[in-house]
Structure 1
Protein backbone atom coordinates (compact mmCIF):
# COMPACT_ATOMS: atom_id res chain seq x y z
CA UNK A 1 0.00 0.00 0.00
CA UNK A 2 1.34 3.42 -0.91
CA UNK A 3 2.07 5.74 2.00
CA UNK A 4 3.26 9.35 1.59
CA UNK A 5 6.84 9.98 2.77
CA UNK A 6 6.15 13.60 3.71
CA UNK A 7 3.15 15.42 5.10
CA UNK A 8 1.22 17.32 2.45
CA UNK A 9 1.16 21.02 3.22
CA UNK A 10 -2.08 22.96 3.46
CA UNK A 11 -1.08 25.07 0.46
CA UNK A 12 -0.48 22.02 -1.72
CA UNK A 13 -3.86 20.53 -0.89
CA UNK A 14 -5.59 23.84 -1.45
CA UNK A 15 -3.88 24.32 -4.82
CA UNK A 16 -5.22 20.94 -5.88
CA UNK A 17 -8.75 21.93 -4.86
CA UNK A 18 -8.87 25.27 -6.71
CA UNK A 19 -10.96 23.72 -9.49
CA UNK A 20 -13.69 22.49 -7.12
CA UNK A 21 -16.10 25.31 -7.83
CA UNK A 22 -19.85 25.58 -7.81
CA UNK A 23 -21.60 26.93 -10.87
CA UNK A 24 -24.61 29.21 -11.01
CA UNK A 25 -27.91 27.36 -11.44
CA UNK A 26 -29.49 27.29 -14.88
CA UNK A 27 -32.56 29.50 -14.98
CA UNK A 28 -35.22 29.19 -17.65
CA UNK A 29 -38.35 31.17 -18.43
CA UNK A 30 -41.87 29.94 -17.68
CA UNK A 31 -43.84 29.66 -20.95
CA UNK A 32 -47.07 30.69 -19.20
CA UNK A 33 -46.15 33.76 -17.13
CA UNK A 34 -42.63 34.56 -18.44
CA UNK A 35 -41.16 34.49 -14.90
CA UNK A 36 -37.73 32.91 -14.24
CA UNK A 37 -37.82 29.32 -12.94
CA UNK A 38 -35.52 26.34 -12.49
CA UNK A 39 -35.68 23.68 -15.21
CA UNK A 40 -37.71 20.50 -14.57
CA UNK A 41 -39.70 22.14 -11.77
CA UNK A 42 -43.12 23.74 -11.51
CA UNK A 43 -43.21 27.51 -11.80
CA UNK A 44 -43.34 29.07 -8.32
CA UNK A 45 -45.45 31.98 -9.60
CA UNK A 46 -48.22 30.33 -11.65
CA UNK A 47 -47.73 26.61 -10.87
CA UNK A 48 -47.43 25.54 -14.50
CA UNK A 49 -45.41 22.45 -15.46
CA UNK A 50 -45.36 20.83 -18.91
CA UNK A 51 -48.26 22.92 -20.24
CA UNK A 52 -50.63 22.27 -17.33
CA UNK A 53 -51.31 23.72 -13.88
CA UNK A 54 -50.05 21.40 -11.14
CA UNK A 55 -50.26 23.65 -8.07
CA UNK A 56 -52.88 22.79 -5.47
CA UNK A 57 -52.92 26.36 -4.13
CA UNK A 58 -54.76 27.68 -7.21
CA UNK A 59 -57.28 24.80 -7.12
CA UNK A 60 -58.48 25.77 -3.61
CA UNK A 61 -59.11 29.41 -4.47
Structure 2
Protein backbone atom coordinates (compact mmCIF):
# COMPACT_ATOMS: atom_id res chain seq x y z
CA UNK A 1 0.00 0.00 0.00
CA UNK A 2 2.90 2.37 0.67
CA UNK A 3 3.88 2.21 -3.00
CA UNK A 4 0.40 3.39 -3.92
CA UNK A 5 0.61 6.33 -1.52
CA UNK A 6 4.09 7.21 -2.83
CA UNK A 7 2.71 7.15 -6.37
CA UNK A 8 -0.13 9.49 -5.39
CA UNK A 9 2.26 11.82 -3.58
CA UNK A 10 4.60 11.93 -6.59
CA UNK A 11 1.74 12.32 -9.07
CA UNK A 12 0.11 15.27 -7.33
CA UNK A 13 2.60 17.58 -9.07
CA UNK A 14 0.94 16.71 -12.40
CA UNK A 15 -2.63 15.96 -11.38
CA UNK A 16 -4.92 16.96 -8.50
CA UNK A 17 -4.95 14.45 -5.67
CA UNK A 18 -8.73 13.86 -5.68
CA UNK A 19 -8.89 12.28 -9.17
CA UNK A 20 -5.75 10.25 -8.43
CA UNK A 21 -7.30 8.82 -5.29
CA UNK A 22 -10.62 8.20 -7.03
CA UNK A 23 -9.01 6.30 -9.92
CA UNK A 24 -6.82 4.26 -7.57
CA UNK A 25 -9.72 3.59 -5.14
CA UNK A 26 -7.94 5.17 -2.19
CA UNK A 27 -9.54 7.46 0.36
CA UNK A 28 -8.02 10.93 0.14
CA UNK A 29 -7.88 11.09 3.93
CA UNK A 30 -5.80 7.90 4.01
CA UNK A 31 -3.36 9.34 1.50
CA UNK A 32 -3.01 12.54 3.52
CA UNK A 33 -2.58 10.60 6.79
CA UNK A 34 0.17 8.50 5.20
CA UNK A 35 1.98 11.65 4.03
CA UNK A 36 1.72 13.27 7.46
CA UNK A 37 3.12 10.14 9.12
CA UNK A 38 6.17 10.08 6.86
CA UNK A 39 8.35 12.13 9.23
CA UNK A 40 7.52 9.80 12.12
CA UNK A 41 8.41 6.74 10.03
CA UNK A 42 11.78 8.27 9.10
CA UNK A 43 12.52 9.16 12.73
CA UNK A 44 11.62 5.64 13.88
CA UNK A 45 13.85 4.11 11.19
CA UNK A 46 16.77 6.34 12.22
CA UNK A 47 16.31 5.31 15.87
CA UNK A 48 16.19 1.63 14.88
CA UNK A 49 19.38 2.02 12.82
CA UNK A 50 21.16 3.74 15.71
CA UNK A 51 20.10 1.00 18.12
CA UNK A 52 21.25 -1.74 15.74
CA UNK A 53 24.63 -0.01 15.44
CA UNK A 54 24.94 0.30 19.22
CA UNK A 55 24.11 -3.39 19.69
CA UNK A 56 26.74 -4.34 17.11
CA UNK A 57 29.37 -2.22 18.85
CA UNK A 58 28.54 -3.67 22.27
CA UNK A 59 28.67 -7.26 21.01
CA UNK A 60 32.15 -6.68 19.64
CA UNK A 61 34.00 -8.94 17.23
TM-score of the two chains, using structure 2 as the length reference: 0.30
Q: Which has the higher strand share?
A: 1
Larger radius of gyration: 1
Give the number of the structure with larger relative contact order, counting CA–CA contacts within 8 Å between residues 6 or more apart. Answer: 2
Q: Which has the higher helix share?
A: 2
